[in-house]
Chains A and B, each alone.
Chain A
Amino acid sequence: MHDRPLSPHLGIYRFMYTMTLSILHRISGVWMALGLVALVAWLCSAAAGESEYARTAAVLGSAFGKILLLSWLAAFCFHFANGLRHLAWDAGFGLEKRSARSSARVVVLAALLAFGIAAYLLFWPHASPP
């Protein structure tokens, strides 16, 4: 059982940037699973009352909390854009090498753009949506 061959041998492949997107999809997903804990904690404290909510808001509003929230927002923007790419693949579109590579660039650009806009609207002091 223990000496059966394992596949794939990641080390023997030439690096291609699409690999980075593949592993980032996993990392961002697992990271957001931890963000889900924070989201539920936020809901629980809002249900518990004003003083409990103030404590949670202070933690999330601190520098450390803001870094966490921004990292979850970044993970979300990437996972969302790359997830749409995965759904397109599952429907049979864009599987050719060329289109898979160009869609990777589109995903990175779209994720950066979405992250910039969302971070500005949610975190910039006194920013209000149109």
Chain B
Amino acid sequence: MKLRAPLAVVLGRGSAGEGVAHWWSQRVTALALVPLTAWFLVSLCGVPLNDHASVSIWIGSGWNPLWLALLLLAMCAHSRLGVQVVIEDYVHAGAAKLTLLLVNSAAHAVLLAAGAYSLLRIALRNGA
């Protein structure tokens, strides 16, 4: 017996009316973060982190700004989705829940914008 209306099947929506986009985005960003975070930690090992000049050169050299931008994008997306689920699971009051969800989205958008802008500044200063 088929319990779902044809339209619901076509749209791929679940009982919450939301579909599986959130679930998929969380997995896709997780997969992207496997090589990106591993690359970040391994290449960070050789950089003297208290020296501004060396750090700037490392951030801006070669394809590093691109990998760092992708890392930042995947991190912000994955983090936003994850914190969103935690809020939805533990905060049930309507106003507080909505406020926290908005703050979560806004904070991650600001982090992404600030990080991307910083990467651009460093890369352009290095003459990329």
Contacts and interface: CB of A to CB of B under 8 A. Distances in A.
Contacts of B76: 36
Contacts of B79: 29, 32-33, 36
A87 B46 contact: no
B103 interface: no
Contacts of B75: 36, 39
Given A32-B79, A54-B52, A90-B27, A122 B45 contact: yes
Q: 4 smallest A-B Cβ distances: which pairs? A: A47-B118, A53-B52, A43-B118, A47-B121
A26 B59 CA distance: 30
Interface residues on B, range: 20 to 34
A30 B52 contact: no
B30 interface: yes
Contacts of A122: 41, 44-45
B70 to A, nearest CB: 14
B83 A46 contact: no
17 contacts: A29-B86, A32-B79, A36-B111, A39-B75, A40-B115, A40-B118, A43-B115, A43-B119, A44-B114, A47-B117, A47-B122, A50-B52, A57-B52, A61-B49, A61-B50, A76-B37, A118-B41
Interface of B is mostly: helix
Most buried by A among B37, B68, B115: B115
Interface of A: 26, 29-30, 32-33, 36-37, 39-40, 43-44, 46-47, 49-50, 53-54, 57, 60-61, 76, 80, 83-84, 86-87, 90, 118, 121-122, 128-129
Given A29-B82, A80-B37, A46 B59 contact: yes
B80 to A, nearest CB: 8
B56 interface: yes
Contacts of A26: 86
B37 A87 contact: no
A33 B80 CA distance: 8
A53 B55 contact: yes
Given A33-B82, A53-B55, 18 more contacts: A29-B79, A29-B86, A37-B111, A39-B115, A43-B59, A46-B56, A46-B118, A47-B117, A47-B125, A50-B52, A53-B52, A57-B52, A87-B30, A90-B27, A118-B41, A122-B41, A122-B44, A128-B45
